[in-house]
Amino acid sequence: MSDANDTGPVPFDVRPVKRRIWRRLSLVWVVPFVALAISLWAAWQSYADRGKLITISFENASGITSGETTIKYRDVTIGEVEQVEFAEGLSVVLVHARIDQTVAPFLDDDAQFWVVRPDVSVRGITGLETVLSGVFIEGNWDTQADVAQTQFTGLERPVLTRAGQRGTRVVLRADDGGSIAAGAPVLHKGIEVGYLEAPELSFNGRQVVVSAFIESPYDRRITSSTRFWDTSGFSVSFGTGGVSLNVSSLASVIEGGIAFDTVVSGGEPIRDGHRFDIFPSEETARDSLFTDPNADVLEVAVLFEQSVSGLTVGSEVRFQGIRIGEVSDLNAIVVGQAADAQVRLQATLAVEPSRLGMGPDATTEEALALLSDFVTRGLRARMVTGNILSGTLYVELVEVEDALPAIMNLTSGDFPVIPTTDSEISDVAATAEGLLARINALPVEELMDGAIDLMDSFERLANDEYTRAAPAALVTLLDESRELINSDDVQAIPGDLRSVIGDLDGLVTAATEANLVTDLDSAIATAAQVATNIEVATQNLPQITQDIEALTARANALELEALVASATESLNAIDAFLGTDDAIAFPGEANAALSTMRELLDDVREGGAVANVNAALASASEAARAVEDAVSTLPALAARANALVTQTEAVVNSYGERSRFSAETLATLRDIQEASDAISSLARAIERNPNSLLIGR
């Protein structure tokens, strides 16, 4: 500035300016430098922070927009899609995205990405926010930083299990996947403790396999003895307790669900990936507790010629009464060629080798060998009625003694084939029907007609005037009888009787003296000997029992119709007889007979007959007295007989198990006992009233 004053015409001197360029530099220059510095720093910062580029491949990129679609991890935005393009050959869609530097190191090989879209299911609505904001990509990985990756393959559907989530994954197997859906709940005592993942078909295509994730700490409840069952839908069961309707949660009704429980202790802890079967109901699950569901089963086939109606999948297979497996499949197959072709019903039996008594480690090959051996010795399969009312059947393996020789067919068809024998199906309905038919066929009406005719005849007889006259004649007869009894001679009869009893007494005394009792004694000894013989004879019992049964059968076979017919005939004959004039004339003849009798009584009264009778009675009285004495020994006799019976009974009891025969023998012995009791009571009665022997009362 001072220069300008001095020089005048040349205000700007070049040289001094050049010399003092640094000193003249304005302070304002700081501003652009600061601005530059800040800009550069910001640029660097944004470059350094811009995130790591990763590539995710998807089948399709529906809803993914470059620059807008974000990538989230646990609902926090960690990146953004930069570019969407096709891979070479249009095979997949490549989504390039920038991920925050802080997160990038955790994107190792366990990282999974999927597109979140709105999803409406029974259990709720998820991804609702994407309706307005558009889809986003959700990522999932654990918190362990491993070797970072930049290439990922996107999943088509969201994963249900967060990486690092604690719990146990088990593999469940079911025959039918109809009740299983991805995301369906796994329940334990009614609370949701896990969920199912997407079901898949097993390798051989026979079962549906689904992974289930059980969250910690509930997974500790699972041991090798845990059982899983299907709770989907609702079940109605009829039983003695009435109708029971079982409905689980509404979600599981629609979406399906699996429940589990561990009832028995002693199971071993399981690892991830343990396999379990899904049982169709809680009941079957609990029933199966004592078998190992994972044991291999031997599948054999049986070809039935007749209808298998009543046999269902799950029907039991029994061997000598013990359940060894179940029917796993039923279908019809064609056997033979061309004209000989026949349709047979094939039942596939799943036999558990461990149930054949071969030990827990038995293999299916060993079991097959065993069965094959049995078959050559006569093992055959047949259907047997299990429940008479419902008509359900089960398959029984029995040894048939006179079976035609056969071997197990191991080569043809899918399974080894066990030959069959005649089935034992008792058709209750048919039997009852036959019985009713026979009853129906009985000539009941003819019988009734005959009976009615008989009654008519009787009525006619009763109405006959001779018959009516009979009572009057009887009254006269009685009057005369009374007169007879009131006569002095008849009154004297008791005295005479007494003397007769006295005579009898003497007679018995004489008998006693003649060792009658000793003879009885020996007779009883003989009876004991007989009992011993019976004991020996019982060894031949089965034969006897069979004979009896045969006899019974024959008796059963007697023709009832013929019997009824002959009864009807005889009734008809009686009827005819009553209808004859002779029968009608009978009352008259009876009257005549009564008159004759009256005359006879008159004769008796007039003659000395009564006096004779009195004398006879007196001697009878003596005889009765003798009997009285003899009878006094009878109680002792009865007691001995009793003892004999008891002894025999004991023998029979000790003979062994209470077979039908021994029961019958016992009954017989009881009859004997009753008889001896009757004898003793008779004896007592005679003792009390010896006269009864004579009077007959």
Partner 1 sequence: MITARDAGLVACQQCGQVHPLGTQVCKRCEGRLQSRDVDSLQKVWAWLIAGMIAYIPANIYPMLLTSTLVERSESTIIGGVFDLVEHGSWGIAIIVFVASVMIPVGKFVAIIYLAISVQRRSRANQHERHKAYEVVEFIGRWSMIDVFVVAILSALVQLDTIATVNPGIAAVSFALSVIFTMLSAQAFDSRLIWDVARTKE
Instruction: Give the residues lining the site for partner 1 (CB under 8 A).
Output: 1, 4-5, 10-11, 24-26, 28-32, 34-36, 39, 42, 68, 132-134
φ, ψ (nearest 5 deg) of residue 264: -95, 150
HSE, side-chain direction, 13 A CA sphere, residue 639: 6
Q: Contact 301/317 with Cβ under 8 angstroms?
A: no
Q: How far is the CB of 23 from partner 1 (least distance, A)?
A: 11
With respect to partner 1, which residue has the nearer C-beta, 77 or 515? 77
Q: How far apart are CA 468 and CA 609, in angstroms?
A: 33
Q: How far is the CB of 131 from partner 1 (least distance, A)?
A: 10
208 is written with which tokens? 């549906």
Q: How far apart are CA 630 and CA 510, in angstroms?
A: 10
* Residue at 104: amino acid letter: A
Q: How far is the CB of 135 from partner 1 (least distance, A)?
A: 13
With respect to partner 1, which residue has the nearer C-beta, 30 or 430? 30
Q: How far is the CB of 35 from partner 1 (least distance, A)?
A: 4
With respect to partner 1, which residue has the nearer C-beta, 133 or 491? 133
> Which residue has 């078998």 as its token pair?
291
Closest CA to 67 of 109, 97, 93, 89: 97
Q: Contact 255/232 with Cβ under 8 angstroms?
A: yes
365 is written with which tokens? 């090959």
With respect to partner 1, which residue has the nearer C-beta, 38 or 474? 38
Q: How far is the CB of 28 from partner 1 (least distance, A)?
A: 4
φ, ψ (nearest 5 deg) of residue 690: -60, -25
Q: How far apart are CA 251 and CA 264, in angstroms?
A: 29
Closest CA to 633 of 694, 687, 673, 674: 687
Q: Contact 285/229 with Cβ under 8 angstroms?
A: yes
User: Which residues are paired to 99 by β-bridges?
Assistant: 52, 79
342 is written with which tokens? 């026949």
The three-state (H, E, C) secondary structure of 518-539, written as one string: HHHHHHHHHHHHHHHHHHHHHH
Q: How far is the CB of 5 from partner 1 (least distance, A)?
A: 6
With respect to partner 1, which residue has the nearer C-beta, 36 or 87? 36
With respect to partner 1, which residue has the nearer C-beta, 36 or 120? 36
Q: Give the SS3 label for residue 356.
A: helix
Q: How far is the CB of 47 from partner 1 (least distance, A)?
A: 12
With respect to partner 1, which residue has the nearer C-beta, 9 or 241? 9
With respect to partner 1, which residue has the nearer C-beta, 133 or 165? 133
With respect to partner 1, which residue has the nearer C-beta, 29 or 290? 29
* Residue at 593: amino acid letter: A
Q: How far is the CB of 273 from partner 1 (least distance, A)?
A: 43
With respect to partner 1, which residue has the nearer C-beta, 28 or 338? 28
HSE, side-chain direction, 13 A CA sphere, residue 478: 6
> Which residue has 């497996």 as its token pair?
325
Note every long-range contact of 129-134, with CB atoms under 8 Å and residues 24 or more positions apart, other chains counting.
Answer: 130/63, 134/63, 134/65, 134/68, 134/69
The DSSP output letter for 617 is H
Q: How far is the CB of 68 from partner 1 (least distance, A)?
A: 7
Q: How far is the CB of 36 from partner 1 (least distance, A)?
A: 5
HSE, side-chain direction, 13 A CA sphere, residue 570: 5
Q: How far is the CB of 43 from partner 1 (least distance, A)?
A: 8
C-alpha separations of 430 from 309, 390, 494 in Å = 15, 14, 71
Q: Give the SS3 label for residue 22.
A: helix
With respect to partner 1, which residue has the nearer C-beta, 46 or 440? 46
With respect to partner 1, which residue has the nearer C-beta, 33 or 290? 33
- Could you give the angle at which helices 581-606 and 560-579 cross, rounded to 10 degrees? 70
The DSSP output letter for 314 is T
Q: How far apart are CA 350 and CA 253, in angstroms?
A: 30
With respect to partner 1, which residue has the nearer C-beta, 100 or 108? 100
Q: Contact 655/535 with Cβ under 8 angstroms?
A: yes
With respect to partner 1, which residue has the nearer C-beta, 5 or 486? 5
Q: How far is the CB of 93 from partner 1 (least distance, A)?
A: 22
With respect to partner 1, which residue has the nearer C-beta, 9 or 242? 9
* Residue at 437: amino acid letter: A
Q: How far apart are CA 607 and CA 141, in angstroms?
A: 139
Q: How far apart are CA 156 and CA 502, in angstroms?
A: 124
Q: How far is the CB of 98 from partner 1 (least distance, A)?
A: 15
Q: For 100-197, list the strands marked E by DSSP.
A: 112-116, 119-121, 124-126, 136-140, 151-153, 167-174, 185-188, 191-196
Q: How far apart are CA 329 and CA 346, in angstroms?
A: 8
Q: How far is the CB of 96 from partner 1 (least distance, A)?
A: 19
Q: How far is the CB of 3 from partner 1 (least distance, A)?
A: 10
Q: How far is the CB of 46 from partner 1 (least distance, A)?
A: 9
Q: How far is the CB of 29 from partner 1 (least distance, A)?
A: 5
With respect to partner 1, which residue has the nearer C-beta, 35 or 432? 35
Note every long-range contact of 527-530, with CB atoms under 8 Å and residues 24 or more positions apart, other chains counting.
Answer: 527/641, 527/644, 528/644, 528/647, 528/648
Q: How far apart are CA 525 and CA 545, in angstroms?
A: 28
